[in-house]
């Protein structure tokens, strides 16, 4: 199940980036919005960083085996 979700995430990210290459924004407010697919890339990077941060924080929150004995 987890492998399928990873594949789905990669496929949707690639589709989002490819879509961003062909659709140009009409009104650019910030300079970085001129870069094609920057929002999709930024979103994918942010998602990956949140997953890594969650795993790191969860490792600190776990109790060692026999903690309650």
Q: Determine if residue 66 is left, alpha or beta; phi over 0 gives left, psi from -120 to 50 gives alpha, anything else beta.
A: left
Question: Cα–Cα distance between 51 and 5 in angstroms, integer?
Answer: 13
Domain encompassing residue 44: 2-61
Residue 69 in any domain: the answer is: no
6-65, pLDDT tens digit by residue? 899 889 888 888 888 888 777 888 888 888 888 888 888 898 899 999 999 988 887 777
Residue 68 in any domain: the answer is: no
The domain tally of the chain equals 1
Enter the pTM of the model.
0.63
In angstroms, how far apart are the furthest CA atoms of the chain? Answer: 63
Question: Cα–Cα distance between 4 and 6 in angstroms, integer?
Answer: 5
């Amino acid at each position: 199940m987890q492998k399928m979700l990873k594949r789905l995430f990669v496929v949707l990210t690639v589709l989002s980036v490819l879509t961003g290459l062909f659709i140009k924004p009409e009104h650019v407010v910030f300079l970085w919005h001129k870069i094609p697919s920057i929002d999709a890339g930024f979103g994918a990077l942010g998602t990956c960083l949140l997953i890594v941060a969650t795993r790191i924080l969860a490792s600190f929150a776990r109790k060692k085996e026999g903690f309650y004995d």
